[in-house]
């Protein structure tokens, strides 16, 4: 897969994508990434790419033409037109599901806005989808594009050593991941759950699944509404809820006794 980023800060994006798993995948030829300086495509002799908004208002807008010409230059380096994503707080919020779908595309082109945003006309002409990384406003699209590149990049075939690296992670099957532990087995006054030392794979799997359910129930209960749960899962969650109710009843009667 290829990920191209159009930005006013290509060095910033390039620097981040040299590191860690994405950097290694690029060096191993499993993932291609390239950054494009929008300013290189302006016809303005002073290199300007922004102007004031029609109708007045605060701030500056990125002009349509440098973005369009940069987009054309990227397209000329590819056989097929890339899937173009405008990073925007107005887009649909990125999810693991969407990231996986995007990881199956041949070529993504991530367009980073800056200042107050971008002239709408070029967005209407070239953009296939808008993506947000959350309901807040960043200074520019670079951090958001890097989040997409990282999240999508690691899901591309061959980038991680095994697909279970992500199929057993949070958000893959609608649950959060179970807690994990590594050496030493005793740290401060804390050990690790016995079952993890048992070597009994079935029991370990069952323990992990229950802890994933419990984690999700405690931290992000709303996710359980959309998760694919078995009868056994529902029973387990009911028992958790009942256990919690008993504990809170005990706590309040203890408090009453103390008062």
Ligand X SMILES: C[S@@+](CC[C@H](N)C(=O)[O-])C[C@H]1O[C@@H](n2cnc3c(N)ncnc32)[C@H](O)[C@@H]1O
Residues that bind ligand X (CB under 6 A): 87-90, 112-114, 116-118, 132-134, 136-141, 144
The residue number whose beta carbon is nearest to ligand X equals: 113
Distance CA 98, CA 254 (A): 48
Residue 58 DSSP SS3: coil
In this structure, what DSSP letter does residue 35 have?
E
Nearer to ligand X, 31 or 62 (CB): 62
The minimum distance between CB 248 and ligand X, in angstroms, equals 37
The string over 151-165, giving b where at least 16 C-beta atoms fall within 10 Å of a residue's C-beta and e elsewhere, is bbbbbbeebbeeeee
Q: Which of 45, 66, 55 is nearest to 113 (CA)?
A: 66
CB-neighbour burial class of residue 100 (10 A; exposed 0-12, middle 13-18, buried 19+):
middle
The minimum distance between CB 122 and ligand X, in angstroms, equals 12
Nearer to ligand X, 125 or 239 (CB): 125
The minimum distance between CB 111 and ligand X, in angstroms, equals 7
Distance CA 129, CA 219 (A): 31
Hunting for tokens 């609608």 — which residue is that? 174
Per-residue CA distances from 101 to 96, 112, 227 (Å):
9, 21, 19
The minimum distance between CB 81 and ligand X, in angstroms, equals 21
Nearer to ligand X, 8 or 155 (CB): 8
The minimum distance between CB 82 and ligand X, in angstroms, equals 17
Nearer to ligand X, 115 or 172 (CB): 115
Residue 192 DSSP SS3: coil
The minimum distance between CB 66 and ligand X, in angstroms, equals 14
The minimum distance between CB 161 and ligand X, in angstroms, equals 30
The string over 169-199, giving b where at least 16 C-beta atoms fall within 10 Å of a residue's C-beta and e elsewhere, is ebbbebbbebeeeeeeeeeeeeebeeebeee
Nearer to ligand X, 150 or 217 (CB): 150
């Amino acid at each position: 897969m290829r990920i191209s980023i159009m930005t006013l800060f290509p060095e910033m994006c390039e620097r981040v994508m040299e590191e860690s798993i994405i950097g290694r995948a690029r060096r191993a030829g499993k993932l291609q990434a390239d950054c494009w300086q929008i300013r290189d495509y302006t016809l303005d002799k002073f290199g300007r790419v922004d102007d004031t908004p029609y109708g007045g208002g605060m701030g500056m807008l990125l002009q349509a033409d440098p973005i369009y010409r940069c987009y054309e230059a990227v397209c000329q380096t590819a056989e097929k037109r890339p899937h173009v994503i405008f990073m925007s707080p107005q887009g649909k919020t990125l999810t693991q599901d969407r990231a996986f779908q995007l990881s199956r595309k041949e070529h993504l082109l991530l367009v980073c806005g800056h200042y107050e945003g971008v002239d709408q006309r070029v967005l209407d002409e070239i953009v296939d989808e808008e993506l947000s990384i959350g309901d807040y406003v960043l200074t520019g699209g670079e951090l958001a594009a890097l989040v997409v590149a990282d999240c999508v990049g690691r899901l591309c075939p061959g980038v991680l050593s095994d697909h279970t690296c992500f199929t057993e992670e949070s958000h893959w099957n609608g649950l959060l991941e179970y807690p994990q532990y590594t050496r030493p087995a005793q740290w401060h006054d804390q050990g690790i759950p016995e079952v993890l030392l048992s070597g009994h794979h079935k029991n370990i799997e069952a323990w992990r699944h229950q802890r994933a359910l419990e984690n999700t129930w405690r931290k992000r209960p709303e996710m359980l509404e959309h998760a694919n749960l078995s009868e056994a899962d529902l029973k387990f969650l009911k028992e958790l809820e009942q256990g919690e109710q008993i504990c809170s009843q005990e706590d309040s009667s203890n408090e009453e006794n103390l008062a």
